[in-house]
Structure formats: C-alpha cells, structure tokens
Amino acid sequence: MFVLLRHLQRVRREAALPPRSGARSLAVRHLDAGSCNACEHELTATAAPQYDLARFGIGIVASPRHADVLLVTGPVTKRMEGPLRRAYEAMPEPRLVAALGDCALGCGVLGDRAELAAPLEELLPVAIRIPGCPPSPEQIAEGLLTVVRAPLDPPAGRR
C-alpha cells in the first residue's frame, strides 16, 4: 500500500497542479438524468490525482440536503423528471443548478421525444453551463471553479 501511496505522490508532483486558492468550498450533488455514462466517467476523473478538485474545496456530497450545486447530466428522461425535481426541492437555499455536458444543455440530444421530459433549462433554473460531449475534467473544473471564485452575493435584506 505504501508503494501505491508513494506512486500517487509522484503523480501529484509530476502533474504540477496549480496551488489551491482561497478558502471557500462547493458541495456538489450529482444527478444522472439519462446520460450515456461518459459524463459520469469524466466527473469521477476529477477526483483522480491528475486533477484532484478537492484542493479547491469542491466535493461530491451524498445528499441534496448537503449540496450547494445540483450537477445534472443527460437529457432528462420522462422517468427521471420526478427524481430530478425532488432532489432540487430537497436542497437548502441558496442553491444552484449546473448542466454538465451537451445533453443536459439540450444540444444534439438523441432519443425518442415521447421518452424525454423537457430540456433541463425548462425544468429548473440553470446557472452553470459546462458544454462538451463529454466535457473533459479540465472543463468540469473550470465550470465549477467559476462558482467557487465568484464574488459572494451581498447578504439578503432582512424582512
């Protein structure tokens, strides 16, 4: 095991990743609404030592109740529309929806119209758009980092 760990340290050194920035975080909940699984492969890859998005405070969380961002892949099938809406409703506010990949962005979607619900944009307010088929881990990092690095909204006025 120690050999594996040493090997991983070497990979990290050789990848020469830029240093982490700021002290902010982003909790991401992934939701597959009918993807081909390639977006999932690339999202998983962002955790690999060559990218390691945890450096930037970006982590995949297990429940929408813990999430800042709902990261959606796929063209939204009829059968996934309900689970998608329920996941969004379960999120605390403020919450953001991210469309990961061309299908979630409604571009070049393949399938029978009768089996697809509606483009994600028509179902939920999409704030982050990460195009690609599938987007590379760099593109996913770039898309999520824009949120981490965005200036914070001023606190909402008290009622």
Partner 1 sequence: MNSAPPVIALSAWREACLGALDRGGRFCGAYASGTGAARRWNALFADGAETLVLSADAGAADPPTIVDLIPAADWDEREAHDLRDLRFEGRESQRPLATHAPETASWTVPVEGRGTHQVVVGPTHAGVIESGHFRFHVVGERILQLDTRLFYKHRGLERAAEGRSPAAGLAFAARACGAGSVTNSVAYAQACEAALGLVPSRELRRGRTVLLELERLYNHLNDVAAICAGVGFAPGNMAFATLKERALRLNCELAGHRFLFGTVAVGGSVLDLDAAAAGRARGELGELRADAEAAWRELAFAASFQARLGGVGVLSTEDASELGAVGPAARASGLHIDTRGTSPGLWYGSAFAPARPPAASGDVAARLEMRAAELPVTFELLDDLLSEPVRPGDAAAGGSTGPIGVARVEGPRGETVCAVELEGEHLGRLHLRTASYANWPALVHAAAGNLLPDFPLINKSFELCYACVDR
Candidates 42, 99, 130, 144: give the one binding partner 1 (CB under 8 A): 42
| Residue 18 near residue 55 (C-beta atoms within 8 A) | no
CA separation for the pair 135, 114 (Å, rounded): 27
Distance CA(14)–CA(77), nearest Å, equals: 41
Minimum CB–partner distance for residue 76 and partner 1 (Å): 10
Nearest CB to partner 1, comparing residues 5 and 16? 5
Q: What is the dihedral of CA 52, 53, 54, 58, to 10 degrees?
A: -170
Among 17, 63, 65, 150, binds partner 1 (CB under 8 A): 63
* CB count in 10 Å sphere of residue 110: 8
Q: Candidates 17, 21, 24, 115: give the one binding partner 1 (CB under 8 A).
A: 115
Q: Which residues make up the interface to partner 1 (CB under 8 A)?
A: 1, 3-5, 7-8, 11, 30-45, 47-50, 60, 62-63, 74-75, 77-80, 83, 87, 110-112, 114-116, 133-134, 136
